[in-house]
Amino acid sequence: MIIKLKKIIIIIFVCVVLLSTTGCWDYKEISDKIIVAGIAVDYDKENNGILLTIEIILPEESNKGSNFIPKIYQSTGKNMIDATKNVMSKAGHELLWSHSKIFILSEDIFKEKNLFIGIMDWIKRDFESRQNTHLILSKEKTASDILTKSNPQTEKITSFYLDQLILSYTENGYIVKTSYWEFVDNLNSLSSCASLTCVHLENSDTGILPYLVGTELISKNTPICFLDGNQTKILLLLQNKLKTANFILNQSKKDMTQNVSFTINNNEVTIEPIYIKNKLSVRLHLDLDAIIEEVDTEKDIFTPDDLKDLEASLKIMIAQEVENFIEYSQKIKTDVLGFGNKTLQKYPNLLKKSNANWDDEFTKLQFNVKVDLKISGSEKSMKKTKMG
């Protein structure tokens, strides 16, 4: 009897607890908030603070059904939290940050170290902000120009347009896709180097378009150099972040110049630090598979001997481009490929004394680049093209 009474009491207690804990304790109607699609941050020189620009999306009724239109709000503040509160007072509603995937930074903001650190800290601590939001560097005079002056005809909301650009370029182009958490991790690593894709505006027949082009290297919270599209391609290739890469091989044979275009697929790059006889070096092994995409000569290049020559020439060309990229990074003392991090993982005791001087140690590193490459065929046809 007592046991049965205890069971009844426990059941009643559980039911009361379940009834009292149903629902969301912090529930708010979505209609009470305004959705933020994108953010741009500039340095407010006059007030030594932040100029915050946000792009919000508002519902719009039309004959074709529901739609969304963009609207821009701007405000200043002493720091990020102050600027967000001020812009919220202009919008008249609480702001919903969780849908924002685009965060555009100006170059000026990096010069103000405390403001820059505060912005990164705000993203980390704001419970709605995405840790995987895309960070982009504006190559215009201000970051706000990207949101206020862009007019892409295929998408009303500039932030959504940029997000789609990043996704499409990741598949088919050469841009660095940098999330907030990856950016901060790289700056806090031994290499102290991160990379951001750059955006600028261009006039076109379809409006003023934002273009993603090149990469800015950020070292010790400071933009230090710009990588063009080809350098960005090599960077992504060595980071194993490139699904495909295009290379054009120029050959001169018997008073005839021919260009053969290749696409590299199934690439795998291994980076291994080697410490022998008190000397540190790095071995890079590129295992690549190539197909022929375009040939601008009538000469038949698909014979076994010609294919072997093409493989050998392409291997030499890619190895040279990789070596040139590494030499350039050593020249500017920027370990963008994270050789120091890989050395620290393999030889944790080796760098304890040289952590503070890793930039100097990096410039002295010797590199051994090996490229294994096989031309597996052509995109569609293994026959030469004749005209006339």
Half-sphere exposure of 247 (CA within 13 A, CB side): 29
* Residue 216 near residue 109, CB atoms below 8 Å: no
The 3-state DSSP class for residue 225 equals strand
Digit-coded pLDDT (tens) for 270-288:
999 999 888 899 999 999 9
Mean pLDDT of the chain: 84
pLDDT of residue 235: 93
pLDDT of residue 379: 45
Average pLDDT over residues 253-262: 69
* Residue 260 near residue 310, CB atoms below 8 Å: yes
Looking at per-residue pLDDT, the higher value among 260 and 301 belongs to 260
Residue 118: is its pLDDT beyond 90? yes
- The pLDDT-based confidence of 301 (bands split at 50, 70, 90) is low
The β-bridge partners of 275 are 280
* Residue 304 near residue 311, CB atoms below 8 Å: no
pLDDT of residue 64: 63
Residue 55: is its pLDDT beyond 80? yes
pLDDT of residue 330: 94
| Ramachandran class of 84: left when φ > 0, alpha when ψ lies in -120 to 50, beta otherwise | alpha
* Residue 290 near residue 375, CB atoms below 8 Å: yes
Residue type, 338: G
Residue 188: is its pLDDT beyond 70? yes
pLDDT of residue 127: 75
Digit-coded pLDDT (tens) for 60-98:
766 665 678 899 999 999 999 999 999 998 888 888 998
> What value, to the nearest 5°, has the Cα angle with vertex 91 and ends 73 and 51?
35
| pTM of the complete model | 0.83
pLDDT of residue 357: 79
CA distance 325 to 61: 53
Q: Quickly name the fold that domain 233-378 has.
A: GMP Synthetase; Chain A, domain 3 (3.30.300)
pLDDT of residue 385: 46
Looking at per-residue pLDDT, the higher value among 296 and 274 belongs to 274
Q: Which residue is listed with tokens 């120009």? A: 145
- The pLDDT-based confidence of 386 (bands split at 50, 70, 90) is very low
Residue 388: is its pLDDT beyond 50? no
pLDDT of residue 324: 96
Structure letter (DSSP) for residue 240: T
